[in-house]
Amino acid sequence: PAFRFFAEWWKQLYGESEGKEGKGLFPASVDFTADLHSMGQYIQQGERTLLETVVRFAADPDQLTVPHDDVNGDGLNFLEGKTMAHDEGGVPNLIVSAGERNARTLGELIYFFEFSCGLSGYLLGVNPFDQPGVEAYKKNMFALLGKPGYEEAGEALRAKLSK
């Protein structure tokens, strides 16, 4: 959960950088346990069009482990002492091993993913540093909102939308 907003940035980075010309990976993030039933099911047994990337941080001395329950009321004592992580299911995966969670490691991860995304875009044959789709919808919004200089485009869009 502490890494949730990094995943949001990652989706924006890859979606905007690679998602053009019918190419690029579809970036999505999964936050277990919130997405366990929906996306966990898909990851375990769905179509194999995924590449799962797991960022694993160095052991945290405060990392939670499953405690012992003298009554074993939920029948989960077999998990005693284990931490919770997901990196299985037959999906090709990449495990990125990072240091402890701190500012330096965050900077290293940002650099790693930015560099990887740029390289991946070039390998796909797209320019990872432009965003023609984003620019197109910005121009459409300027035209529809009446920004000066976009009058003709606004008229054309309104005519198209009224059909």
- Dist. CA 39–CA 32, nearest whole Å: 9
Map tokens 């970036």 to a residue: 27
How many CA atoms lie within 13 Å of 73's alpha carbon, on the beta-carbon side? 2
CB 137 within 8 Å of CB 145? no
The token duo for 31 is: 């936050």
CB 35 within 8 Å of CB 42? no
Q: Which residues are catalytic?
A: 16, 37, 138
